[in-house]
Amino acid sequence: AQTVTQSQPEMSVQEAETVTLSCTYDTSESDYYLFWYKQPPSRQMILVIRQEAYKQQNATENRFSVNFQKAAKSFSLKISDSQLGDAAMYFCAYRSPYFGNEKLTFGTGTRLTIIP
C-alpha cells in the first residue's frame, strides 16, 4: 500500500516571500501521479498542480512549482511571491496510474499562514 507523509503540520511565510512545503511518499510502483491540493476555509478541494512520475520535468503552474525527486520519493511544493489568498491547508496526494483505480492517498496536510 502507498503512503504519503507531510512532516510539516504548519508553516508560515511573509507575504511576497517564497515557501516550500514538503511531501514524501512510499510506493513500489514505477509509474504514478502526484498532486498538490489546496483547501481554503471554504472547504473546497482545489487542484494546485499535478506531476506524472514518468516525466522528469518538474511541473509548474504560475507561482506554484514542484521539486520532484523520484529516486528519493520526494515531491515538494514551492510557492513564490506568496499572497494572502494562498492561506489554506495543502494536501499532497498519490494516485496509481491504472484505469479504474484512481484512488487518491492523501498526506495529513500542512496549514499555511501568510503574514501580511
Partner 1 sequence: NAGVTQTPKFQVLKTGQSMTLQCAQDMNHNSMYWYRQDPGMGLRLIYYSASEGTTDKGEVPNGYNVSRLNKREFSLRLESAAPSQTSVYFCASASSYGYTFGSGTRLTVV
Write the CA distances from 16 to 8, 67, 82, integer angstroms.
21, 20, 5
Q: What is the per-residue binding string for partner 1 in 77-106, x denoting contact by CB under 8 A? A: --------------x-------xxxxxxxx
Nearest approach, Cβ of 15 to partner 1 (angstroms)? 26
Q: Which region among 11-19, 42-50, 65-73, 77-85 touches partner 1 (by CB under 8 A)? A: 42-50
- Cβ atoms within 10 Å of 19's Cβ, excluding its own: 20
- Which one among 31, 45, 81, 115 touches partner 1, defined by CB under 8 A? 45
Rounded CA-CA distance 40/83 in Å is 13
Rounded CA-CA distance 98/35 in Å is 16
Under the rule (CB under 8 A), what is the footprint of partner 1? 4, 6, 9, 35, 42-45, 47, 50, 91, 99-109
